[in-house]
Chains A and B, each alone.
Chain A
């Protein structure tokens, strides 16, 4: 009943196209994250769903209703803004009550609703305060309370955590997730933080320049990216892109030519080459391999690994593990080594590449080779 359909939605500003033919179907109770770099159109799309921006083409449906030309207040949505947009002249109680008051809900009912929401968000002791007297985290809660009080079909979040400090952000992230599980609400959430996207989403929509790049579960997006942009955008530290020449061995096995930091080149067999590998015979493609798949030798247990003894140029301990920077095919790559292994910059370390987890891209189109 509170599903959201975005059908062929486009948006132009004059000759500039902000959204290109976006299609996303969101199930009732689903948590969808829109992610992309600034200017990718994610906020425009969110505002279009809210009705704050008009769209040039296509349809938006909430539940069974086409709402493309319905005014924001009649769309049965609530939005949490990046700046929270709390009304500065009203206290917390009135901020939460305002939407209900506009709907002409009876006073007693408003009172109950405000108290219910305030208790749920643990802000019941702040009801008399003005927004200026609240901390960042408290304002964030009030902003969510304002959305919750309306019990809308769809919740829209526009980068709600980006104004909080790091610790609070993690805390509120968990709370939003809990809230989603408790309310079973349909949520569309905009962020540029890929960790937020991975941790919160049922599905992630990655956008760039007004185009939807890929729509899928966090695991899909992370492990099976459709192009170099998606692969590079998700994951921290970022995935390594290494150009490598494809070669077929005498035994018909396909493999890559890889050069270690000493300049020694090896033929490395691919455990599961993509189906179209034959097209790339003796040509260079881009290998995408995540830092956790370049690791200390004993860390990788599956087949398809290749070990090399490489010079470590820089190390960055993060706590649970240490990031190591070395060279592969004369390209700087990042690896991830458990912190129990002593690693020092300027020393050699045996690293192992798990090529069964690698993905391959066309260097021209940047599309995935499958």
Chain B
């Protein structure tokens, strides 16, 4: 009965495959699970030990506290203010850096000029410079411009350091667009911006989504620039989270820490889940176009 043995063999290798996959999935999901469970427990339950057990008596108290009461340094208003700060910083920076990157990529792929390759190379260097290396000169520059310790300053910094990446993304995508399209538009009488707006941008769906996800995640999660260039009123949520966890007034409230960490991570998770779908859809549409 060679057939059955073959089937058994297949069944076994399938089973092994799933076992390995499930093990890895559990391994990666464990920290998130522990965080989630801990954020719904009260302190006594956490002290009792068992980290991986679901909460016996789920409570929203730690979430409420993290949002509006926990101390981040001397103030005790929770992280809600910083949460909004992060939006105010991230959204303009994402939009600006993505828009500028799109124009840059369009120029560097379709309107080459003398030295454009060198220009692109210099921009790429921007991707590889460690941010620590530019902290001081940037602080100086922000000071001269009179926008240090402000939301505007942070938006500027994030926009500037986002441009090399966004340019790279758009440029590599636009290189794949047929140059004949641009030539046709030129002959039709469309100028630089008309061609971009009417011909190129409507074809950019997938790369716009990729860039937005990348930029949003990076800027939202940034801690370095946030901690250095922000003032008391312009701290992003990542910095507030750090302060919250490090503030030691009496008891260490792990449940509040965990809730705050999840709140801080929530927007990037939502962005990824929502636009990841569009991202895939965009890729499919591109493939069909041929």
Contact = CB atoms under 8 A, between A and B. Distances in A.
A307 interface: no
Given A83-B178, A85-B183, A132-B288, A98 B190 contact: yes
B186 A52 contact: yes
B181 to A, nearest CB: 5
B187 A72 contact: yes
A73 B184 CA distance: 10
Contacts of A83: 178, 180
Interface stretch (A74-82, A166-174, A244-252, A355-363): A74-82
Residue from B184, B185, B199, B203 having most chain A Cβ neighbours under 10 A? B184
B203 A88 contact: yes
A79 B203 contact: no
Contacts of A73: 186-190
A132 B284 CA distance: 13
Interface size bucket, A side?
A: 20 to 34
A71 to B, nearest CB: 8
Given A88-B289, A89-B199, A89-B202, A99 B189 contact: yes
A50 interface: yes
Contacts of A72: 183, 186-187
B248 interface: no
B286 to A, nearest CB: 10
A77 B185 CA distance: 13
A59 B182 CA distance: 25
A82 B180 contact: yes
B250 interface: no
B209 to A, nearest CB: 16
Interface of A: 47, 50, 52, 71-73, 77-79, 81-83, 85, 87-89, 98-99, 102-103, 132, 146, 150
Contact of A85 (B181, B194, B198, B289): B181
Contacts of B178: 83, 85
Nearest to B190: A102
A106 to B, nearest CB: 16
B232 interface: no
Given A85-B181, A88-B203, 16 more contacts: A52-B186, A73-B187, A77-B187, A79-B184, A81-B183, A85-B178, A85-B183, A85-B184, A88-B202, A88-B289, A89-B199, A98-B198, A99-B189, A102-B188, A132-B290, A146-B188
Contacts of A47: 183
B139 to A, nearest CB: 44
Given A87-B199, A89-B202, A79 B187 contact: yes
A103 B189 contact: yes
Contacts of B290: 132
Contacts of B184: 79, 81, 85, 87, 146
Given A85-B178, A87-B199, A132 B183 contact: no
Contacts of B199: 87, 89
Nearest to A104: B189
Nearest to B188: A99
A226 B63 CA distance: 89
Interface string B158-196: 000000000000000000001011011111111000100
Contact of B194 (A52, A88, A102, A132): A102
A73 to B, nearest CB: 4
A139 B34 CA distance: 58
A81 B288 CA distance: 21
Nearest to B178: A83
